[in-house]
Amino acid sequence: MSLIPDKPPFKLLDILYKKEFILFVVLVSILIINSNISPYFLDLYNLIDSTFLFSEKAIIALTMTFVIIARQIDLSVASIIAVSSVVLGYTTSLGYDTWLVLLLTLLSGALCGAFNGAIITKFAIPSIIVTIGTMSLFRGLAYSFLEDSYYNKFPKLVGKLGGGYLFGYIPYAFLTFILLAFVFAFILHKTSIGKKIYSIGNNPDAAQYTGIAVDKYTFVLFTLNGLFSAIAAIFLSGRLSSVRPNIAFGWELEIITMVVLGGVYIYGGSGSILGVVISIFILGMLSFGLGLLNVPGVGIIIFTGLLLILSIGFPSFVRTLRRKNE
């Protein structure tokens, strides 16, 4: 009788074919090219400061990874940032205590996410359409509340979180992202919750039949996504120290790019936190390096778009060719 092992035997060569390995090679090449082109790149302070450019998005990318693995998508995250930032500014202007301000800000984000989740699960509508709607709705609420004015007064703590460093070296936003990444990697890869999220993404109907409360998971994931958008909103408002309704405009696409480039399949069921974290660094170091070379922001936009399409298109094209040859 031959046994079927529940885990394939470990082979060193297999690592070479992993998406994460390819991403890692890309990251290392970017680092090498960058440090050869610009003498300012390999400066520890510069590198640390460059994390300010992506930490807030990266925090949302973690929960977005869960959402996409569960075969959903959330286009409203940037608009939730706008709502939460407005709540942050408004509650500060009312003179509330810092802890209450932060609590209400987080609550506003979670509520927006829960609203998404409720409509998606209750009416069984595809999340892409629901969140296109709430993307306008939430952003619109921020606009109608703030009109053409702005907030620039926040609790001291918020300013410190957004622009400050722990021990004078590590930015709080970056630290939060790294810690959360470990937590999320643990949940996704080491707990039954993670397993359930994968199975929901692979086949929601089958998951339902095996007794997984698919709707409950979906609802919680969207609420979590809203909550994390609010966390990002706190860091971002603190860093910019000014909030207008158009804050974080277009971020939803950048965050989804981070996740998809990290090897998470857009139709759910596969992907890893490690891949997403590497892809976040790739995009961050890429735009930092291009910035040092004085390439304007649009160059980075084009490059990101191309990278996104080619990173998926190239492997699948090679696969198709190989299948034809067989």
Partner 1 sequence: MKKILLNRDFILFSIILIILIAVGFANPLFVTPKSISDVLTDTSILIILALSQMIVILIRAIDLSVASNLALSGMLISLLSTVHPELPVYYFIALSCVIGTILGVLNGISIAILKVPFIVTTLGTLSIYRGLIYFVSDGKQVYSNEFSEDFLALIHVKFLSLSFLFWLAVVVFIVIYILLNHTRFGRNLYSLGGNPDAAKYIGINENKYIIMAYSLSGFFAGLCGYLWVARYSVASTQIAIGFELTVISACVVGGISVMGGVGTVLGCVLGALLIGLIRNALPAVDISQFWQLAISGAIILLAIIINTKTEQRKEKTIMVEN
Q: What are the residues binding partner 1 (CB under 8 A)?
A: 73, 119, 123-126, 128-130, 132-141, 143-144, 147-148, 253, 256-257, 260, 266-267, 296, 298-299, 301-302, 304-306, 308-309, 312-314, 316-317, 320
DSSP tag of 43:
-
Provide, rounded to whole angstroms, the least separation between the CB of residue 172 and partner 1. Answer: 29
Q: By C-alpha distance, which of 122, 96, 90, 94 is closest to 108?
A: 90
Provide, rounded to whole angstroms, the least separation between the CB of residue 119 and partner 1. Answer: 7
Residue 84 or 176 having the CB closest to partner 1: 84
Provide, rounded to whole angstroms, the least separation between the CB of residue 237 and partner 1. Answer: 20
Whether residue 105 contacts residue 230, with contact meaning beta carbons closer than 8 Å, is answered with yes
**Backbone φ and ψ of 39, nearest 5°:** -70, -15
Burial label for 144, CB within 10 Å (0-12, 13-18, 19+), is exposed
Q: By C-alpha distance, which of 178, 190, 198 is closest to 67?
A: 198
Residue 186 or 249 having the CB closest to partner 1: 249
Provide, rounded to whole angstroms, the least separation between the CB of residue 112 and partner 1. Answer: 12
CA dist 23 and 259 (Å) reads: 12
Residue 150 or 169 having the CB closest to partner 1: 150
Provide, rounded to whole angstroms, the least separation between the CB of residue 114 and partner 1. Answer: 15
Residue 211 or 297 having the CB closest to partner 1: 297
Residue 78 or 161 having the CB closest to partner 1: 78
Residue 3 or 298 having the CB closest to partner 1: 298
CA dist 149 and 116 (Å) reads: 28
Q: By C-alpha distance, which of 222, 213, 172 is closest to 66?
A: 222
Provide, rounded to whole angstroms, the least separation between the CB of residue 134 and partner 1. Answer: 7
Interhelix angle for 77-93 vs 127-146, to 10°? 30
Which residues make beta-bridge pairs with 151?
A: 243
CA dist 168 and 160 (Å) reads: 12
